Amino acid sequence: MTAIPRDRELDGSLSLLRNGGYTFISRRCARNGSDVFETRLLGQRVVCMTGSEAAEVFYKPDRMTRQGALPPTALMLLQDKGSVHLLDGKPHRRRKEMFLSLMTPEGMKRLGERFEELWRARIGRWERERRVTLFYEARELLCRAVCSWAGVPLAGPEARKRTREFGAMIEGAGSVGPRNWAGMLLRARTERWARELIEEVRSGELMVPEGSAAEVIATHRDTEEEPLTTEAAAVELLNVLRPTVAVDRYIVFCALALYRYPESRRKLRESEDYSELFVQEVRRFYPFFPMIGGRVRAGEGFTWRGHRFEAGDWVLLDMYGTNLDGRFWGEDARTFRPERFREWDGSPNSFIPQGGGDHRSGHRCPGEWITIDLMKRATLLLNDAMEYNVPPQDLSIDLSRMPAIPKSRFEISNVRRAG
């Protein structure tokens, strides 16, 4: 059995926190001349992997469990106990079916149209403002749109409150200290609100549209034909709402790409299918999730690259580095070029901005299609529905900060409705 490299640091925790998780694995793989290496994080032994072959190994159905694979602070903010992400096998597939039932073409269209309606209505207000920070505006519009689509009523002040809460959860998940504490505090408040909603739907006090996320989750039955507990149903409702709000980052990256690569504006107007290529390249090129963790399930031990992975072993897969891997994407992997997706073979493990593997049998994000649709709509709105200036600002992206975002959050000025 061939021994895999061991990183020279005794414990990489400080390096990960200081330099960020986006390049942590890929840099050490390059340093060790291997797609896999062993290190320690928080005193625990962990095996780190990068590349499409590693993703294929990692995402083999039922091989990995998410239980015990994430720091508790990140888990509580992004998923929480009882969520679909922490289930395995048949219970996971049954719960996943619940989420996928919401992702019908008609359902996604309704969400996209509601988002577009709110965006177009907001342009008038932007026209009266000296500067607009796109990140915060997109976040609120996404929150309002997804809550309306999910059957969750939000009045004006409450919409701003929920937007702030979802934003704090996302911001705090990749940090330690005050940012994380603020997210935890607001998460507790949001869960109370979600539990009350589920109870009101079940009692009939709150009437929601049939087939809406609130109705589907409140009435769902798991493998034992039992309804979800109120706590689990509330967590799963938040697992529909919060990730949709997190598309705010991708929308900012779309705006940044339009600014950095202005030739894309012309191509978007000349070709109807270019928006798909454009947003896929944004998802590949810009940082979203740095890595994903798993633990080998009991009875699922395996050997890869000469290393024996045993039950309980902690494994981290490099998502950001895999998306920029020149062995798959070519010599220009670190160049923004949407046209590369005309030749992409659709491999589920070479392009993993929101996870790899299969949507139904694995842990690939079921909201990926919604993400793509909302990004396409936002891109076309920025390109065709409005005109604006991009004033001088700091658009640098600090990869030591998780989750990453341009420092200025992308400010625009002199907004005018097109036409």
In the chain, the number of structural domains is 1
The band of 350, judged by pLDDT with boundaries at 50, 70 and 90, is very high
Please compute the mean of the pLDDT values over residues 221-246 and round it to a whole number. 92
| Residue 138 domain flag | yes
Q: Is the pLDDT of residue 181 over 60?
A: no
| Residue 21 domain flag | yes
Percent of the chain with pLDDT over 70: 91
Given this model, what pLDDT does residue 91 score?
Answer: 82
| Residue 194 domain flag | yes
| Residue 273 domain flag | yes
| Residue 418 domain flag | no
Q: Please report, for residues 5, 43, 128, the alpha-carbon distance to residue 9 in angstroms, rounded to integers and kept in the order given.
A: 12, 12, 54
| Residue 53 domain flag | yes
Both tokens of 345, joined, read 């073979």
Q: Is the pLDDT of residue 188 over 70?
A: yes
Given this model, what pLDDT does residue 82 score?
Answer: 59
pTM: 0.93
Amino acid at 11: D
Given this model, what pLDDT does residue 79 score?
Answer: 56
Task: Tell me the per-residue pLDDT of 240-291, one tens digit each, with 9 for 90 and over.
Answer: 999 999 999 999 999 999 999 999 999 999 999 999 999 999 999 999 989 9
Dump the DSSP string for 265-312: HHHHHH-TTHHHHHHHHHHHHS-S--EEEEEEPTT--EEETTEEE-TT
Cβ count within 10 A of residue 210 = 9
Task: Tell me the per-residue pLDDT of 309-340, one tens digit each, with 9 for 90 and over.
Answer: 999 999 999 999 999 999 999 999 999 999 99
Given this model, what pLDDT does residue 357 score?
Answer: 73
CA distance from start to end of the chain: 67
Identify which of 67-76, 93-102, 203-212 has the greatest average pLDDT: 203-212
Please compute the mean of the pLDDT values over residues 70-99 and round it to a whole number. 70
With b for 16 or more beta-carbon neighbours within 10 A and e for fewer, the 139-157 pattern comes to: bbbbbbbbbbbbbbebeee
37 close to 29: Cβ distance less than 8 angstroms: yes
| Residue 2 domain flag | no
| Residue 419 domain flag | no
Identify which of 57-71, 289-303, 402-416 has the greatest average pLDDT: 402-416
Closest to 397 (Cα-Cα) out of 205, 207, 201, 257: 257
Domain that holds residue 335: 12-412
The band of 182, judged by pLDDT with boundaries at 50, 70 and 90, is low
Q: Is the pLDDT of residue 80 over 60?
A: no
Instruction: Report how far residue 210's alpha carbon sits from residue 373's, in angstroms, rounded to the nearest whole number.
Output: 23
Instruction: Kindly report the CATH number assigned to the domain that includes residue 203.
Output: 1.10.630.10
Given this model, what pLDDT does residue 153 score?
Answer: 80
Q: Is the pLDDT of residue 75 over 60?
A: no
With b for 16 or more beta-carbon neighbours within 10 A and e for fewer, the 98-129 pattern comes to: bbeebbeeebbebbbebbbebbeebbeebeee
